[in-house]
A and B are shown apart, each in its own frame.
Chain A
């Protein structure tokens, strides 16, 4: 292993890559890995945490992320493939969804386009998002950080229909509780409405599509209404 704690695979990869995003949790790079366009997600050590705790948390999130990715892919939900995981430096090598745009940018660009086709395209997108999220909750995967930036749209080569990819499963976990699913949808609602102002009607359409295709959506929507009143943290009093 290299002196700085990074494995050789990672070091060789980093030579030819560009940093595309730095967050509080990880750095994301883009490059080529064994000949394929790849995204590298590196969870760097957090110096503000106790080393032992940091190691545990980081390791768990890395594991949770790859597990959820596989589970979603098995269910037919589009998510990047995992090529390689380095547990020593907590790096995940993921398939790069070439030619994709975030749903966030896509919505913004539609809103800037001529009024005519706007509504139809947005409705179509909201419906698709609802369907994918329903499928994900059907598998008991809780994403944990649903935002329009964590969804990618890839326009297929031969078909007109764009594919909706879910990404960033770092905070995901498995749960069948309506409470957790309700909070998941609440997080999305908050993020959606604050990123895209005046889209309440659109989010309603998303929820409608979600409800229509998910058998157990009734209890989730009830929980969502509950969570809306109290916020996502449950009161621990009493």
Chain B
């Protein structure tokens, strides 16, 4: 990894639904504004926020990308009307682009259930179970 892409590189197999990423990004922006981020950069904070635990390196390991990964979800935070950076990043990616909604099709459900320790009662809506744990993790 050379650090040439300024954005959050996420392992898409660990994402149940794009909403989850929006929640993580929203929280990162919020904590960035009030100066209470747990990690150093906003993009690392997004990855950290996805994790159910407060262990930073663990979060990077599970939700970040590694060399062997075959897919990546790139998250950028930018002002609504400023999309130049996005085109730049897209130019750097050598691969097939898919609509963000299709991320849900790649999810490794078994792994998600194990990592977030969801109960069988929560199976009816895994996304809610995951988002809840993300939102509440700093007071558990």
Q: Chain A: residues with CB nearer than 8 A to chain B?
A: 1, 7-9, 34-36, 63, 66-67, 69-70, 73-76, 81-86, 88, 93, 95
Contacts and interface: CB of A to CB of B under 8 A. Distances in A.
Nearest to A86: B30
Closest 6 CB pairs of A and B: A76-B121, A81-B128, A34-B22, A82-B135, A63-B139, A66-B136
B23 A84 contact: yes
B34 A88 contact: yes
Given A8-B33, A74-B122, A82 B27 contact: no
B8 interface: no
B119 A70 contact: no
B72 interface: no
Interface string B21-40: 01100110110011000000
B140 interface: yes
Contacts of A1: 33-34
B131 interface: yes
| B122, B132, B140, most chain A CB atoms within 10 A | B132
Contact of A73 (B23, B30, B128): B128
Name the prevailing secondary structure of the B interface residues. Answer: helix
B19 A36 contact: yes
B109 to A, nearest CB: 18
Contact of A70 (B19, B30, B140): B140
B133 interface: yes
Contact of B132 (A9, A63, A69, A76): A69
B136 A85 contact: yes
B5 interface: no
A81 B121 contact: no
Contacts of B71: none
A63 B139 CA distance: 7
Contacts of B131: 81-83
A84 B26 contact: yes
Contacts of A66: 135-136, 139
Contacts of A74: 118-119, 121-122
Nearest to A36: B19
Contact of B135 (A35, A76, A84, A88): A84
A9 B30 contact: yes
Contacts of A9: 26, 29-30
A93 B133 CA distance: 13
A73 B132 contact: yes
Given A7-B34, A9-B26, A76 B119 contact: yes
Interface string B107-140: 0000000000011011001001101110110011
Contacts of A82: 131-132, 135-136
A170 B70 CA distance: 45
Contacts of B122: 73-74, 76
Given A73-B129, A95-B128, 15 more contacts: A7-B34, A8-B30, A9-B30, A34-B26, A69-B132, A74-B122, A76-B119, A81-B128, A81-B132, A82-B132, A84-B26, A84-B27, A85-B135, A86-B30, A88-B34
